[in-house]
Amino acid sequence: MYSKKFLEILKSGLDQWDEQVAPLRGKKSMPRFFTVSGEDIDELYTPDSVDGVDQDDYFEKQINHPGVFPYTRGVHHNMYRGRLWTMRQFAGMGTPKQTNERFHFILKQGGGGLSTAFDLPTLMGYDSDHERSLGEVGKCGVAVDTLADMEIIFEGIELDKVSTSMTINSPASILLAMYLAVAEKQGVPFEKVRGTLQNDILKEYIAQKEFIFPPKPSIRLITDMMDFCTRKVPQWNTISVSGYHIREAGATAAQELAFTLADGFCYIESAIEAGQNVDEFAPRLSYFFNAHSDFFEEIAKYRAARRIYARHMRDKYKAKDERSWKLRFHTQTAGCSLTAQQPENNIVRVALQALSGVLGGTQSLHTNSMDETLALPSEKAVLIALRTQQVIAYESGVANTPDPLGGSWFVEALTDKLEAEAEAYFAEIERRGGVLNCIEEGFFQRELARSAYEHQKELEKKDRVIVGVNDFTLEDEKIDIPVLKIDRRVEQDQCAFVKKIKTERDNNAVQATLENLRQVAAADGNTFEAIYDCCKAYASVGEMCDVLRDVWGEYVETQAAMQVS
Amino acid sequence: MAEKIRVLLAKPGLDGHDRGVKVIAAAFRDAGMEVIYTGLRQTPQMIVDAAVQEDVDAIGLSILSGAHMTLFPAVLKEMKAKGAENIILFGGGIIPDEDIAELEKEGVSKLFTPGASTEEIVSYLRSAVKNKSDDEQII
């Protein structure tokens, strides 16, 4: 891209600059110049910092135009000039009725899509009245036991008019089946149902740890569901391959990038092995990344992700459809970066993180609320978080042109570096026998624990400053922002409701569908269709998961995965 | 010189977020303590049984799901039932101040919230264990 002559002039100028800066190097404003992931940053970036800039095909190969392979600058030709990202705020708490009210409120405010958080018993496949659910019902999200709850959550919401995202993993097939059963009752054909399931079990073993079954049957649940959706629910995004939780568990940017894409490739390989055509299912896969505090590193991470994905999809998995090459992603700001101290400062952190997601070309964005280190977000905090996105979209001017930081020597060099680090991890994962083996031997888990501990030590040595926590603290700080509490009555009401449904439904039909599910799970039919029948008979999440636990067993973390670092 | 402090760390309930508990486990280990990490989804009974069997000085629980007002009292109750009240119970998580006050009144020795340093937690545990053994010697 740059001529030999150009680079010669540049280098001689650089030598002079080096002499001029030498006497200034004794004085430093910070102990270390490094990213939040611990990557040291050079003193200066110039065209000479970027590999390959002397080649004529550099631009076409490494960067290229937005909407054009390898999509470094974005997956759409016009990016936000055509359509802004979707401002998708994650919500869900208490009973199905409370969540239904919140959804109506969001839709009235012109919210683009719904995003459902479920409580821990639902995520772990227990009914609200199970003893292990005690104290957890309705706390981290909404409680769902049977189809009756799903009917209440979406009451008065036409399912052909909204797109719904559901953050659910181990029992994802069950929740999608319930959602489709609601659509059927509303007379909405499956072809018109739109939304996304998180449905990423691999990152559960690696990071978030909300797993139920062992990996192999878990992956079968996913590929069975992908097969069903490809045939019958073509607008449904089947997996949102998630780096978010991997990052929250302690990963560096490079680890988040590498482990997430490795997980994505593992699903792709599994579906291909199950006989599916890559171009039929790959366009329905999407990704979910974290927006952490290191501004440029995050932007480089999103750009690298698109480039790596496009190359692997085209060259390794032989996808022919351009839609299969494009990595579309959702972003959420980093919960783990928020502080309980001086919580209002979190508004600023979230704004900077959200800005990196937008400059990185995200398709949708959730901005965290300032009070999330204290409790579930209050309504006021949620509103400020949404307004933050609107200020970025409508006031800052950053949405005016695609990839405004493309061509920055620093950003391009960092993008290349993250790509190289991810490729090195892919080779290591391969050498260790693939993603599933790495989970069993605790490779990912130890990598994350080590990074998390390193980060903590850096904070305590004050190599890294967190405003309000290890520097700029207030004496006798009093927190005076409102904190949301979930009433204990929620649990009692939900337990009473599931007991009532279990006595009123046709229990013979429930037993018959559960028995069918048992047989399908033990043999090799499509589990999704069997689950759908159970849901329509008002079998509960716990009952279906109990059948599957019986047939497949429960997953317990290996000792190797539990090692602290 | 006193014996090595023995501490059992556990994640009760259904919450799987284990970043914090692993950082604390590493910090205790590096501070020269014996750390037993039981892993995820432990019932109060499993936790107290393990603590008694391992003869630990303290139990540390990490809860980020909001179920602390159920789980800490359940572990305390189990400790009483097993005659293990001499073990120190402490913990950490996303726990509002008023809940901390209530739980500390019920018998939880100390609760840490986001932003606490490992240094602070290590020195707390050292002095809590020291006070306990001083008390026991008086008896």
Query: What is the pLDDT averaged over residues B51-67?
Result: 95
CB atoms within 10 A of CB A200: 27
Q: Which of B22, B65, B74 sits opposite A564 (nearest CB)?
A: B22
Q: Which residue has the tokens 């059927």?
A: A184
Min Cα distance B138 → chain A (Å) is 36
- Which residue ranges of chain A lie beneath pLDDT 50? none
Give the mutation candidate from B19, B28, B71 for the A interface (greatest A CB count, under 10 A): B19
Q: Which residues of B touch A460 (CB under 8 A)?
A: 117-119
H-helix or E-strand spanning residue B35 = strand B34-37
Of A339, A376, A449, the CB nearest to B115: A339
Per-residue tokens: A407: 């061509």
Q: Are strands A114-117 and A86-87 parallel, antiparallel or unpaired?
A: unpaired
* C-alpha A268: how far from chain center: 17
CATH number at residue A326: 3.20.20.240
A22 in a domain, yes or no? no
Provide the 8-state DSSP code for A286: E
B interface mutation test: which of A372, A451, A453 has the most B CBs within 10 A? A453
pLDDT over 70 (residue B139): no
pLDDT tens-digit map of B100-130: 999 999 999 999 998 899 999 999 999 999 9
SS3 content of chain B, % helix, strand, coil (to 5): 50, 20, 35
B41: left (phi over 0), alpha (psi -120 to 50) or beta: left
Task: Judge whether A340 is closer than 8 Å to chain B, CB to CB.
Answer: yes
Structure tokens at A228: 């069903």
Cβ(A467)–Cβ(B44) under 8 Å? no
Q: Which is nearest to A373 in space by CA: A335, A333, A344?
A: A335
Chain A residue with CA closest to B26: the answer is: A564
Q: How many CB pairs under 8 A join A and B?
A: 107
Report yes or no on A70 lying in a domain. Answer: yes
Cα torsion angle, B67, B70, B73, B78, sign: negative
Distance from CA of A341 to the nearest CA of B (A): 7
Q: How many Cβ atoms sit within 10 Å of the Cβ of residue A454?
A: 17
Per-residue pLDDT, B138: 65
Tell me if the bond preceding A70 is cis, omega within 30° of 0. Answer: yes
Residue A129 lies in a domain: no
Domain carrying residue A264: 61-87+198-460
**Confidence at residue B2, expressed as pLDDT on a 0 to 100 scale:** 62
Chain A environment of B19 (Cβ under 8 Å): 248-250, 336, 448-449, 452
Write a three-state SS string for A149-177.
HHHHHCCCCCCCCCEEEEECCCCHHHHHH
**Which position has the token pair 């101290």?**
A341
Residues of A in contact with B23 (CB under 8 A): 250, 449, 452-453, 456
Is there a contact between B16 and A459 if contact means CB atoms under 8 Å apart?
A: no
Q: With a CB-CB cutoff of 8 Å, which residues 278-317 of chain A face chain B? A: none
Q: Say which residues have a Cβ less than 8 Å from residue A92's Cβ, sequence separation at least 6.
A: A99, A102, A115, A116, A117, A118, A119, A141, A142
Measure Cα distances from A135 to A109, A132, A497 in Å. 32, 9, 17
Q: Which residue, among A332, A330, A139, has the nearest Cα to A247 in the 3D structure?
A: A332
Chain B contact present for A140, CB below 8 A: yes
Spatial separation of the C-alpha atoms in residues B11 and B59, rounded to whole Å: 11
Residue A109 touches partner B, C-beta closer than 8 Å:
no
**Number of C-alpha atoms within 13 angstroms, CB side, residue A344?**
6
- CA-wise closest residue to B72 among B62, B83, B58, B85: B62
**B72–chain A nearest CA distance, Å:** 11
Per-residue b/e over A261-285, b at no fewer than 16 CB within 10 Å? bbbbbbbbebbbeeebebbbbbbbb
CB A115 within 8 A of CB A88: yes
Cβ A405 vs Cβ A361: under 8 Å: no
Q: Is residue A113 part of a domain?
A: no
Q: Does domain B6-138 have CATH number 2.60.40.10?
A: no
A106 half-sphere exposure, CB direction, 13 A CA radius: 26
Residue B134 binned pLDDT confidence (cut-offs 50, 70, 90): confident
3-state helix, strand, coil in chain A (%, to 5): 55, 10, 40
Question: Given an 8 Å threshold on Cβ–Cβ distance, is A449 in contact with B65?
Answer: no
Is A209 within 8 Å of A297 (Cβ atoms)? no
Tell whether A177 is covered by a domain.
no
Q: Do A453 and B94 touch (CB under 8 A)?
A: no
- B68-110: per-residue pLDDT in tens? 999 999 999 999 999 999 999 999 998 988 999 999 999 999 9
Max CA pair span of chain B: 41
pLDDT surpasses 90 at B66: no
Q: Is B139 exposed, middle or buried (0-12, 13-18, 19+ CB in 10 A)?
A: exposed
pLDDT at A8: 95
Q: How far apart (Å, rounded) are the C-alpha atoms in residues B97 and A483? A: 11
Structural domain contains residue A549: no
**Locus of tokens 């090799």:** A524
Is A481 an 8 Å CB contact of chain B? Answer: no
Residues 6+ apart with CB under 8 A from A528: A173, A177, A221, A224, A225, A227, A228
**For position A483, what pLDDT does the model report?**
75
* Calpha distance A445→A245 (Å, rounded): 12
A561 to chain B, closest Cα gap in Å = 10
CA distances in angstroms from B29 to A452, B37, B51, listed in the order given: 15, 11, 17
Cβ contacts of residue B24 below 8 Å, gap of 6+?
B9, B60, B62, B92, B118, B121
Shortest distance between the Cα of A339 and any Cα of chain B, in A, equals 7
Q: Which of A262, A178, A253 is nearest to A501 (CA)?
A: A178
* pLDDT value for A107: 83
Domain assignment present for A468: no
A349: in domain: yes
Phi, psi of A511 (to 5 degrees): -60, -40
How close does chain B come to A293, measured CA to CA in Å? 16
Phi and psi torsions of A194, nearest 5°? -125, 140
pLDDT at A110: 66
A562 to chain B, any CB pair closer than 8 A? The answer is yes
Q: Which two structure tokens, joined as six digits, stand for A328?
A: 């579309």
Q: Single out the residue of A300, A374, A217 nearest to residue A49, CA to CA.
A: A300
Total number of domains in chain A? 1
Residue A88's nearest CA partner among A117, A67, A66 is A117
Cα distance between the two ends of chain B: 20
In this predicted structure, what is the pLDDT of residue A565?
67
3-class DSSP state of A147: helix
Nearest CA among A149, A150, A142 for reference residue A486: A142
Measured between beta carbons, the chain A residues lying within 8 angstroms of B76 are none
Do A469 and B65 make contact, defined as CB atoms within 8 angstroms? no
Inspect the interface and report whether the beta carbons of B16 and A564 lie closer than 8 Å. Answer: no
